[in-house]
Structure 1
Amino acid sequence: MKKNLFAISIILMLTLTLSACGSTAPSAQKTPDSSVTETSQNSSKEEGEYPMTFNNYGREVVINTKPQKVLTLGPNCTELFVALGLTDHIVGNSLKNHSRGPLPEYAKEFEKIPELNYGSATREAVISSGADFIYGLDWEFGGDSLNTDELETYGISTYMNSATSMEEIYQEILDIGQIFGVTDKAQAYVEDQKARISAVQEKIEGKEAPKVLIYDSGNDGVFTCSGVNFESLLIGMAGGENLFGDLTEKAWITVSYEEVLAREPDVIVIHDYDSPSVEEKIAEIKGNDMFAQLDCVKNERFVTIELESVLPGNRMAYTVEKLAKGFYPDLFN
C-alpha cells in the first residue's frame, strides 16, 4: 500500500511539473519583432506627433518638432514644397542656375521665396540662414561644402532628395507631408501623379520605343545620363529607351560622338537650363560632323525639357506627358 501511495505521489508530481512547463513555454519564447524598424513604427504616428524618425537613404533623420524655417536646395525641392502648400516655411533656396523657372501655376508663390544662393548653397549662407531644416538635392552635400553631421550641431536637420525610383520619390513626398502635417495633401499628390502617368502609358501601349539620346552638353563628347539616372526612368515611362541605359556605373556619363553614331538614336532630348540656351545647343548638334549624319538630326527630332523637370520632385507626371508628346507627336496631336 505504501509503495502504491508513493508511486501515485510521484506520478502526480510529474504531471504538475509538465503542466507548468507547458503553460509557461509560449510566453517565455515571445520576443519583440526585430523586423519592425523605427521608420515603419513612425509611419503609424498621428499627424503632428513628434519625434519622428525616418530612414533617408541609409541616414537616420530624427525630427523632434515641426520645422519652421526651411532651405530648399534645388529647384525641384522648392517646387515640391510649393505644390504641397508649404511656401511660407521656406527661408531660402538655391540652384536657380539649374532652372527655367516654376510651372505657371506656382509662379505667384515663387515670388515670395528668398534666394539663398543663385548657384550651389554655400556653407556660410546655410549656417547663417537661421534654418532648422533642409530638403535638398544630394549633390549639394559632401566634400568641402555641406556636411550633414556639422549641420546637426547648428540645429539643422537634413532630408536629402536622392530618389532613383518612383517608389523612392513617392516616399519622399509622403515623408515631407508627415513632417509638416500635410499627409492628406501629400497622399493626394502622389495618387494624382500615378493616375496621370498611367493615362500616358495606356495611350502609348504597344508602340515601338524610340531610342533616345539625352543631350545635356557636348564638348569632347556628349554629357548624358546612364541607366541608373532618375531621368532614364522617366524616359522609359514616357515610352522611350535611353540610348545609354545599359551603362550603370554612375548617374552622369560622357560618351564619344562615335558611340552615339554607332547606336543611332531616333530622338534627342535636350536639357534646357542656364547657358548655353537650347537654340545654341541645337546649333552645336547640327554643326557637328558626326551628329549631322544622324537621321534624327536631319529630321530635327529634338525634344526639349527643363533640367529641373528630370530631377526627382514634383514634376514626374508633367515630364512623362511632355516627353511622350515629343516621342509620339502623331499620337498626341
Structure 2
Amino acid sequence: MPLARPVRHTALFLAGALLLTGCGGSSGSSGSSDRSPAKSKSAGYPITLENCGRKVRIDGPPRRAVSLNQGTTEIMLSLGLADRMAGTATWTDPVAKGLEKANAKVKRLAEDAPSFEKVLDTEPDFVAASFASTLGKGGVAPREQFDKLGVPTYLSPSDCVAKDNSGDGDGARTRPLTMDAVYGEVRDLARIFGVEARGEQLVAALKARVKKATSGLDADDVTLLYWFANSQSPYLAGCCGAPGIVTRRIGARNVFDDSHEEWPQVNWETIADRDPDVLVIGDLTRKQQTAETAAKKIEFLESDPVTRNMTAVKEKRYVLLSGQAMNPTIRTVEGIEKVAAALRTHELAE
C-alpha cells in the first residue's frame, strides 16, 4: 500500500490505565509469568515460529531488536520492550498516545526506510517489519540477506496471509483480513521476547475496546469510502484490508468493496458517481504523496468541481484517521472506535 512501499510510497487504555503500565509497567519490567533474558535457556529457548512461509528460529530473547515499520514498533512498545530495541524506522504518524516516553528511549534510524547498512550499524539480533515490501527487493533488504548474517527476521502475518504481493501495486487479498492476524502478531512478538503474559493482556484489552465501540451499533444503510493519500490519482481502500475490518465490525459497506486490491487507484469521476455517505480520510504526517494531511484532502474535496457536490462533502461527513489506523495494526482498533463514534455523531447509526 502507499504506506508500505518506500518508492510509492492509541491510545491504549484499559480501565483508565495505560496498557503500557498494565502490561508490565516500565519498559524494563516483567510480569511474574514472563521469561527473563537471563533465564532464556531454561525458559524454553530456542523457539521456532512459522512466519509467512518461513521457519524463524529465535535462540534467546532479543536484546537489540530493530523495527522497520511503525506497526511493529508500536506493538513492541506496548509490550514494554523499549529497553530491548536498538532502532525504529518508517513513520507515518506520531507515536500512539501513551507510548511517547517509551518511544523516546529508542533511536529513530530514519523517518522512512533506512539503508541496510544503517540497520546493521545497530548490531541487531532481531528485525521485524509490517510489510513484505520492507523486507523484499527494493526495500531495506530481503530477508535472505539478514539470514546470511544470522539475524532472524519477522514479517507481520497480516501482510502475507491470503495476500498476493507479487505485482507492482500494493497487493491483493484472496479473502478478507481479520483482527485475528493482528492478535496473532502480538502473541508472536510476545513469545519471541518471552513476555507472553503482556501479550495476552494487550490482546484482551484490544478486544474489549472493539466490543465497547461496536456494542449496539446499527449501520446497515451507511456507505463509506477510505482515502489514504494522493489527490491526482487517489489510493482508496478495497474490500479486504484493515479498512475492511473496520467496515465489517461496524456493519457498514465500503463503496469499493468490489475491489480485492489493497489500495486501488480510482478516478474522481467514479468516486463521485458512487457518492458515499461518509469519507474516512487519512491524516498523515509523512511527505511522500500529494494531499497527505487531512487538511489538504478536505481542501481538495471542497474545491474540486467533481468532488465538491458529493453528499459527504456537502454535509462535511469526514472521519480523520491516522495512517496506522488504516493499516492492519493494533491501531486498527482506533479506526473502529473513531468511525463508530463518527457515525453516531452524524446520526447515521444508533
Q: Answer yes or no: same fold by TM over 0.5.
A: yes
Q: Once superposed, which parts of structure 1, at least 4 consecutive aligned residues long, lie more than 4 Å away? A: 330-333
SS in 1 for 2:62: coil
Offset at residue 228 of structure 1 (A): 2.5
- Alpha-carbon contact 1:82-1:106 (below 8 Å) kept: yes
Alpha-carbon distance in structure 1 between the residues aligned to 2:95 and 2:67: 14
Alpha-carbon distance in structure 2 between the residues aligned to 1:180 and 1:56: 16
Which structure would you say has the larger RCO, counting Cα contacts within 8 Å and 6 or more residues apart?
2
Residue-pair matches, total: 285
Q: Counterparts of 1:176-215 in structure 2 under 5 Å?
A: 176-204=189-217, 206-215=218-227
Q: TM-score, normalised by structure 2?
A: 0.76
Q: Which digits, 9 at most, give the CA deviation of each residue in 1:56-78, with x for residues without a partner?
A: 12121111222111111111211
Alpha-carbon distance in structure 1 between the residues aligned to 2:103 and 2:120: 23
Alpha-carbon distance in structure 1 between the residues aligned to 2:115 and 2:257: 33
Q: Counterparts of 1:70-85 in structure 2 under 5 Å?
A: 70-85=65-80
Alpha-carbon distance in structure 2 between the residues aligned to 1:226 and 1:198: 24
Offset at residue 314 of structure 1 (A): 2.2
* Identity score, percent: 23
CA RMSD of aligned residues (A): 2.1
Identify which of 45, 54, 59 aligns with 1:59. 54
Alpha-carbon distance in structure 2 between the residues aligned to 1:47 and 1:85: 22
Q: Which runs of 5+ in 2 are unaligned?
A: 1-40, 159-176
Alpha-carbon distance in structure 1 between the residues aligned to 2:265 and 2:330: 27
Identify which of 44, 66, 69 aligns with 2:64. 69
Alpha-carbon distance in structure 1 between the residues aligned to 2:329 and 2:271: 29
Q: Which digits, 9 at most, give the CA deviation of each residue in 1:247-302, with x for residues without a partner?
A: 01x21110111211221100111101124422111101111111112111011111
CA distance change for structure 1 residues 324 and 155 in 2, over 3 Å: closer, same or farther?
same
SS in 1 for 2:197: helix
Alpha-carbon distance in structure 2 between the residues aligned to 1:299 and 1:108: 39
- Alpha-carbon contact 1:136-1:160 (below 8 Å) kept: yes
Whichever structure has more helix as a proportion of its residues is 1
- Alpha-carbon contact 1:47-1:183 (below 8 Å) kept: no
Alpha-carbon distance in structure 1 between the residues aligned to 2:314 and 2:216: 28
Q: Counterparts of 1:129-208 in structure 2 under 5 Å?
A: 129-138=122-131, 139-145=133-139, 146-163=141-158, 164-204=177-217, 206-208=218-220
Q: TM-score, normalised by structure 1?
A: 0.80
Identify which of 340, 344, 348 aligns with 1:324. 340
What amino acid is the match of 2:252? G
Alpha-carbon distance in structure 2 between the residues aligned to 1:301 and 1:181: 44
Q: In terms of Rg, which structure is larger?
A: 1
Alpha-carbon distance in structure 1 between the residues aligned to 2:205 and 2:156: 20
Offset at residue 233 of structure 1 (A): 1.3
Offset at residue 209 of structure 1 (A): 4.2
CA distance change for structure 1 residues 308 and 128 in 2, over 3 Å: closer, same or farther?
same
Q: Which digits, 9 at most, give the CA deviation of each residue in 1:138-191, with x for residues without a partner?
A: 231211331101101122111112413211111111111111111111012111
Offset at residue 330 of structure 1 (A): 5.4
Identify which of 300, 308, 325 aligns with 1:309. 325
Alpha-carbon distance in structure 2 between the residues aligned to 1:219 and 1:179: 41
CA distance change for structure 1 residues 291 and 48 in 2, over 3 Å: closer, same or farther?
farther
CA distance change for structure 1 residues 129 and 70 in 2, over 3 Å: closer, same or farther?
same
Q: Does 1:266 align with 2:292?
A: no
Greater CA drift, 166-175 or 193-202: 193-202
Q: Which digits, 9 at most, give the CA deviation of each residue in 1:2-28, with x for residues without a partner?
A: xxxxxxxxxxxxxxxxxxxxxxxxxxx
What amino acid is the match of 2:79? L
